[in-house]
Amino acid sequence: MLFDLKNKVAVITGGGSGIGKAVAEVFAEQGAQVCLLEIIPKAAKETAQALSNQRLLAKGYACDVTRQAEVVTVIQSIVKKFGRIDILVNCAGIAHIGKLETTSEEDFDKIFQVNVKGVYNSMQAVIGTMTKQKSGVILNVGSVAANVGLPDRFAYSMSKGAVVTMTLSTAKDYIKEGIRCNCVSPARVHTPFVDGFLKKNYPGKEPEMFEKLSQTQPIGRMAKPIEIAHLALYLCSDEASFITGCDYPIDGGFIKLNN
């Protein structure tokens, strides 16, 4: 079977919703033992339980990726239980709207803690195990915001630029240890965040604004989380064993065709 993840242990941060949840579902369907790290315990439990109900292998862990000691403790418990970690997918992240002058220090620090330090904490927690194994795959979720200038996305763009460069550095430093590290950079994806954003900022105009946002993608719609998950599956599978140190836009033509 192509893209077979049987006997592989996959850790997915932000696995309780959005892209992370879709990645968890797709990886579990391909046979992986999925370990979901999620700041909301209920989301982690419900997602893992739903997969377990389908006789898929999944376990949820409450974890705040901004807290290094907490991440290390959870990763150590996973290694103790399953003996290894083959895949790490960093999906945990938050968004922020604002340009330089409207981004407060508090906003900037919060974005940095989750989107940058959270990725650092998770990668650092697994790299020792992967080095000992002489194998492993790390996949980070970036954004088109790291490649083009987006209006009102100052702090968010900063954080995703850091994710891409951390990806390249990690790929370079650990290639001799058999560890691959790549990044996917989506354009706008229809997740619960989008629905919440529209409800908060455009009450009563949600359908109209949803369509407007969709049309900012040249392909004419937002991505579905499962479409990001399918690319993640390929990059984390043995079929992609020759790929490392790359950032893959998955953007409906946003970067190249949005003239």
Residues tagged active-site = 156
For the chain, how many helices (H) and strands (E)?
Answer: 10, 7
Structure tokens at 209: 């604004």
Contact 122, 67 (CB under 8 A): no
Q: Residue 169: which residues within 8 A CB-CB, separation 6 or more? A: none
Beta-bridge partners for 88: 11, 138
CB contact burial 46-79 (16+ within 10 A = b; e otherwise): bbbeebeeeebbbbbbbbbbbbbebbbebbeebb
C-alpha torsion angle, residues 52, 230, 14, 175 (rounded to 10): 110
Question: How many C-beta neighbours within 10 Å does residue 108 have?
Answer: 17
Q: Which candidate, 236, 57, 40, 60, places its Cα nearest to that of 140?
A: 236
